[in-house]
Amino acid sequence: MPVRLGDKLVVAISSRALFDLDESHQVYEQEGLEAYRQYQIAREDTPLEPGEAFGLVQKLLRINSMLEGDSRVEVVLLSRNSADTGLRVFNSIQHYGLGITRAAFAGGRSPFQYIPAFGTQLFLSTHAEDVRSTLEAGFAAATILPSNQPREMRDELRIAFDGDAVLFSDESEQVFQRDGLEAFQASELASARDPLGGGPFKAFLAALNRIQTEFAAGECPIRTALFTARSAPAHERVIRTLREWDIRLDESLFLGGMDKSEFLRAFGADLFFDDQEGHCRSAVGVVPTGHVPHGISNRLLKP
C-alpha cells in the first residue's frame, strides 16, 4: 500500500528558506544556470549554513522524538533546483541530522503544485510568487524575510500570528480600510457573537493545537501567540471565534495599534506571520518573520 502522511502536521519548505543559498543564488544571477550547476556540484560535500527557517524546522522535527509511536510532524523539501543541483541541499540535511526524507525538485519551475499531493498545511519560501500561488490555492504560505538575527537556543518552539487576514478572514480589515477605525470598532461590537471566517493559517494553527493536546500540562514544547492591532471592544469577537473553532492560543496580545516588535522580542518568537509589509519590516529586526501576502492590504498594493 502507498504511504500516506495522514493527520500529520506537514510543513513544506524551500531550500533557500532552510539554508543560506545567497552566495549560490548570486552565481546563478550573475553567471547563469550552468555556472550555478557546476558551483553546487563542486561544493556538494560542503554543508550549507542554516537559513532563516532552519531553527523552526529543527524544533518542529524535535517534537517527533518527544512523542511515542508514529511521528506527528513531517517536513518536506520543495525546491526549484534540479535533483542534480539539489544534492548539496540533501547532503546538508544529513550533515545537520534533520529528519527530512521527502522532496520535490522542480527543475527551475515552481514546486507549489505538489503542495496538495503532500497534504501540506504550511509552505515557507523566499520566492514571493510561489507563496502567492500557494495562498491563492487555499494553503497557508509565507515569504521568509532576511533578518540575520541570532537564533534562539531554547528548545521550546514559539510561533506568533497576526489575526486579520492571517488566522482570520480579512472581512473586518475591509471595513477598517474602507470606513476607518470608528466604523471598524462599531462593526466588531455589533458582530461580537458572530464568528469570523477562517484565514489561510487557521488549518495550520489547528494542526499545531492537535499536537499540543498530546502533551501533559507544563510539558508541551510548542507555544503559540496572537499579536493583533485590535483592542477592546474588538477583542470579544476574536475570543469567541477561537472558542467556536475549539482552538486554543497560549497567549493573546491586543495592542491597539502599538508597534509589535518589542512584544515579539519579549515573547521570543521563532517565527512571526503577518499580512502587512510594514509590520513585517518592523518585526524582522527582532524576530524571524514571514510575510503573508493575503487579504485586502495586499490587494491594495497591486498596480
Q: Helix, strand, coil % (nearest 5) of the chain?
A: 40, 15, 40
Beta-strand runs (E) in 99-198:
102-105, 122-125, 140-144, 157-161
Kindly give the interhelix angle for 181-190 and 235-245, rounded to the nearest 10 degrees.
40
Q: Which of 126, 125, 80, 71 is nearest to 100 (CA)?
A: 71
Sequence-separated contacts (24+) of 43-50 with Cβ below 8 Å: 43/88, 44/87, 44/88, 44/91, 45/88, 45/91, 46/88, 47/91, 47/92, 47/95, 47/96, 48/19, 48/20, 48/21, 48/88, 48/89, 48/92, 49/19, 49/20, 50/18, 50/19, 50/20, 50/96, 50/151
Catalytic residue among 162, 170, 270, 274: 162
Please report, to the nearest 10 degrees, the dihedral formed by the alpha carbons of residues 202, 205, 210, 212 taken in order.
-160
C-alpha cell at 163: 489575526
How many Å apart are CA 27 and CA 49, to the nearest integer? Answer: 17
Whether 162 is catalytic is yes
105 three-class SS = strand
How many Å apart are CA 201 and CA 85, to the nearest integer? Answer: 32
Task: Check if the beta carbon of residue 12 is closer than 8 Å to that of residue 123.
Answer: yes
The residues assigned a catalytic role are 162
